[in-house]
Structure 1
Amino acid sequence: MSSLKLHGRRRLFFDLPNLRFSLQNASPFSSATAATVSPRKGQNFTVSVAYLVESLGFTTKLADSISKKVSFNKDNIDSVLNLFRTHGFTDSHISNIITVYPQVLIIADSLAPKLEFLKSRGASASELTEVLSKVPKILGSRRDKALSRYYDFAKEIVQADKSSTFKKLHPSSLLPQGSQQENKIRNISVLRELGVPQKLLFSLLTSHVQFVCGKDKFEESLNKVLEMGFDPTTTTLRFVDALRILYALSDTTMKARVEVYNRLGFTVVDVWTIFKKWPTFLSYSDKNIADSVKTFLEIGFSRDEFVMIVKRFPQCLGYSAEMVKKKAEFLVKEMNWPLKTVVSNPSVLGRSMEKRIVPRCNVIKCLMSKGLIRSEQLPSIHSVLICTDQAFLSKYVMKHDDDKQLVAEMMAIFTRGRVK
């Protein structure tokens, strides 16, 4: 990939509103996946979840989440724990492996041969535990060649990040030239050189995402993302989202999407400014956009207010109509904040009703009922819902610390029913 300009030193001649690129099909990385089995029901299921909590110290919530992804029982857990422990893995390593890749609980029979195979190739116990605890999905590889290939590359990334001297990574010479595996490793090497964090590189290595399997299209899309100013080191997730979307959308789809936003009142500059803020903005379908417009208009916002809300908080386009209406209705009808305050502070639509909006508003209503806040002096929506918990409590609760009973009452209201 010698032609790739990693830091935007080459001027790229393309018109942002009319980006030209074609959709390229790429087969998924199938060798690093394992089938997910629906969880078992009944007493055995409950016992298995409890045993996972007991054996590895998982929270009940985490154990239950894992149980919804794969079916396992006490024997599965014991088998996996014993196997990993005999190969030098600590409980911390094992916990991370099961959390990230719970499928190990249903491929226990194939784990031993894979671990022995890696050891036979010279992997030490410390190397095995470090690499596999960071990227356990490698254990889903079905063939020795695939296992070797992805293990070696993951090990290179770990060692490169630990070394004080920059080390350039290269695709394995054993990979067929032009293969999707070679493309994936080469592309991830480029992303590593650009400073994309190790954790995300591992995620991409074992993922099904199309853009890391491409070649010319990957280079083209990456150059465009860099030219647009996305920084892979400081805005990593936005950088990857932008790369994924520019890779996936055809020229026709992109032009049509921009035209839809134009008709709603967004300028071309608006569209690309919002894209840089929230790349997923361009992935919403015409139906998603139309439904979102309908929702906001039904609530009582004007089209201009809708445009302003999206400019300030584009994430709201992905919210369900039910969620947006429920939150807007609560803020306006329950708290008497004017609808225009949501236009000024649209990020409140992204706050949790259970964790933030309801508890904090109940505290404010408590203070109002006691005459400590007059209705005509209702605090701003920003000061109530946008600040941190600590700032909120300091401003509205702890200022009354001379009245211990009142503070206790408000703290009970603040914490009641909150989902942690």
Structure 2
Amino acid sequence: MATRKKNLQLLLSPIQKRCLQTSSADALLPPTRTTTNTNASSSSSFDVHFLMNSCGLSSKSALSVSHKLQLHQNKLQKPQSVLLFLKSHGFDDSHIAQLIEKRPKILHSGVDDTLKPKFDFFVKNGFTGKLLPQLIASDPNILSAAVDSHLKPCFELLKLFLGSPDRIVVALKRAPFLMSFSFKGAVQPNIELLIKEGMHVDRVAKLLSLHARVILVKHDRMVYAVNALKNLGVEPKTPVFLHAAKVMLSISKSNWRKKIEVMKSLGWSEEEIIVAFKRYPYLLACSEEKIRKSLDFFVNTLKLEPQAIITCPEYLSYSVDRRLRPRHNVLKVLVSKKLVKEDEKIVRAVTRISDRDFLEKYVTKYADKVTGLLEIYGGISKAKKMES
């Protein structure tokens, strides 16, 4: 009884500890109201109170989680055991709060039969110190996966390409769903296909680390993407393949075709579109409206030839309203007042240089000579944003 009381004290706030010393676990209950509460509302209040004071959740999060979880003030042994187990494995308050927000039912988990085997597996494979709580908090669904049939093969495959637990955690932070996904069903067949088609293992590692969603698609979709890109001249062994695959797998065949047709209707040949795509795959990730608007600006406002855009297709990804047109308006005024020359550098100024450099070189430099230049560029708030 003394040991249990001591463990409980570790989890409670200072105020609760004082209450515990003078009374019992009933001190966890919120203050008695003058009005009569229903059993349901009392239970809900207790849940919120426990989640805030013992688990570190904010009042808003605790209220939200309380709708998904029911605790009993006389049956706290399992939740308390879970919290003590997590703390014994290096989980701090933020890790525990994050974990419970994502997976409230962990408080009802059995420590010995559910949590311990998985924690033992991760510790054995190098997830010690802060790595373990970072891993579990990134995707609590890991805790519902079987060790032998799921976690082991997943971990072995990730370790094969990523190496250290540190790199695995970094990858899982970007794609926390990675280790809870069906490796045998999709990931492993997709990786085997890409390696067979010539992708180097270093690029597979990059794919897992930075573009994990690409590898999680159904195998038939991956087969389609690989074959389609090879037909366009984009081989899996090339650096651009990762980005091209990411774009192709993110849009349907019909939308892909629509975007091709939009660009053709604006004067591009299909061959020119493919050349531009191979240089900058995210070109075809833009919406049809964005493609139309961008091409209209470059062709009709900047008077660029199609070949110039094909050479630098990333131009089409820039925002016309927030970046390109404000810069162009500033430069038009400066040219009209003969403060800058109208030459090929105008295009570079509109498209290539950073916001900070543009502000310094073309706005603040001439602000005292051209009334309202800052407003033409976008106002005080935009300038402050560039300077911060």
TM-score tier after normalising by the smaller chain length = 0.5 to 0.7
1:295 corresponds to 2:262: yes
Which has a greater percent of helix? 2
* Offset of residue 140 of structure 1: 4.6
Are residues 203 and 363 of structure 1, via their aligned partners in 2, closer, same or farther at CA, if it must alter by over 3 Å? Answer: same
Deviates more, 1:134-143 or 1:298-307: 134-143
CA distance in structure 2 between the partners assigned to 1:419 and 1:105 by the alignment: 40
Aligned letter for 2:328?
A: C
Q: What's the TM-score, normalizing by structure 2?
A: 0.61
1:23-42 superposed matches below 5 A: none
Cα deviation per residue 1:353-388 (whole Å; 9 max; x = unaligned)?
3432333233223334544345x5364433322322
Q: 1:340 to 1:415 in 2, by over 3 A?
A: farther
- Aligned partners of 1:324, 1:267: CA distance in 2, in Å? 23
| Residue aligning to 2:309 | 342
- CA 1:318/1:339 → structure 2, altered by over 3 Å: closer, same or farther? same
Amino acid at match of 1:236: S
Choose which of 110, 114, 118 in structure 1 pairs with 2:82.
118
On the 8 A contact 1:310/1:317 being kept in 2, the answer is: yes
2:148 alignment partner in structure 1: 177
CA contact (8 A) 1:274 1:311 kept: yes
TM-score norm. by structure 1 comes to 0.57
* RMSD after superposition: 5.0
Tell me how far 1:196 sits from its aligned partner: 3.1
Show the 5 A alignment for 1:12-411.
83-87=50-54, 89=56, 104=65, 106-107=67-68, 109=70, 116-121=80-85, 123-124=87-88, 127-132=91-96, 138-141=102-105, 144=109, 148=115, 152=119, 157=127, 159=129, 161=131, 175=146, 177-178=148-149, 180=150, 183-184=153-154, 187=157, 193-194=163-164, 196=167, 198-202=169-173, 204-206=175-177, 209-211=181-183, 217=189, 220=192, 227=200, 229-230=202-203, 232=205, 236-238=209-211, 240-241=212-213, 243-244=215-216, 248-249=219-220, 253-254=224-225, 256-258=227-229, 262=231, 266-267=232-233, 269=235, 272-283=238-249, 284-373=251-340, 376-377=342-343, 379-400=345-366, 402-403=368-369, 405=371, 408-411=374-377
Alignment partners' CA distance in 1, 2:240 and 2:320: 26
One-letter code aligned to 1:139: R
Could you tell me how far apart the structure 2 residues matched to 1:254 and 1:234 are?
15
Give 1:326 shift.
1.3
Q: Match of 1:15? A: none
5+ long unaligned stretches in structure 2: 1-44, 133-141
1:149 Cα deviation from its structure 2 partner: 6.7
Q: Residues 108 and 117 of structure 1: is their aligned pair in 2 closer, same or farther, counting only changes over 3 Å?
A: same
| Deviation at residue 254 of structure 1 after TM alignment | 4.8
Tell me how far apart the structure 2 counterparts of residues 226 and 102 of structure 1 sit (CA, whole Å).
48
Work out which of the two has the higher radius of gyration on C-alpha atoms and give 1 or 2. 2
**Length, aligned pairs only:** 321
2:244/2:278 contact within 8 Å kept: no
Q: State the Cα deviation string for residues 150-183 of structure 1 (Å, max 9, x = none).
A: 9837887462649xxxxxxxx99x93632x4554
Letter of the aligned partner of 1:144 in structure 2? S
Q: What do the CA deviations read for 1:233-264 (whole angstroms, capped 9, x no partner)?
A: 699314x355335x734686356524xx63xx
Q: In structure 1, what is the Cα distance between the partners aligned to 2:345 and 2:162?
A: 47
**Deviation digits for residues 95-124 of structure 1 (CA, Å, limit 9, x no counterpart):** 9xx6xx997475365699785342243625
Note closer, same or farther for the CA distance 1:412–1:135 as it changes in structure 2 (3 Å cut).
Answer: same
How many angstroms apart in 2 are the aligned matches of 1:188 and 1:102?
Answer: 37
Matched residue of 2:167: which SS? Answer: coil
Query: Could you give the per-residue CA deviations for residues 371-419 of structure 1, whole angstroms, max 9, x where no partner exists?
Result: 4345x53644333223221121122113325538455444545857999
User: What amino acid is aligned across from residue 163 of structure 2 in structure 1?
Assistant: E
Instruction: Please state how far the C-alpha of 1:229 moved relative to its aligned partner.
Output: 3.5
* Residue pair 1:292, 1:321 contacting (<8 A) in 2 also: yes
Work out whether residues 56 and 96 of structure 2, in 8 Å CA contact, stay in contact via their aligned partners in 1: no
Counterpart code for 2:172: L
Please, which runs of 5 or more residues in structure 1 have no aligned partner?
A: 1-77, 163-170
> CA distance change for structure 1 residues 185 and 209 in 2, over 3 Å: closer, same or farther?
same
- Note the alpha carbon deviations across 1:290-330, whole angstroms, 9 max, x for none: 22221211111223321221111101222221110012112
Q: Is the 8 A contact 1:138 1:206 kept in 2?
A: no
* Matched position secondary structure for 1:397: helix
Query: Do the aligned partners of 1:181 and 1:213 also contact (CA within 8 Å) in 2?
Result: no
Contact 1:89/1:129, CA 8 A, preserved across alignment: yes
Query: 2: distance between equivalents of 1:192 and 1:79?
Result: 45
Do the aligned partners of residues 328 and 216 (structure 1) sit closer, same or farther apart at CA in structure 2, a change above 3 Å counting? closer
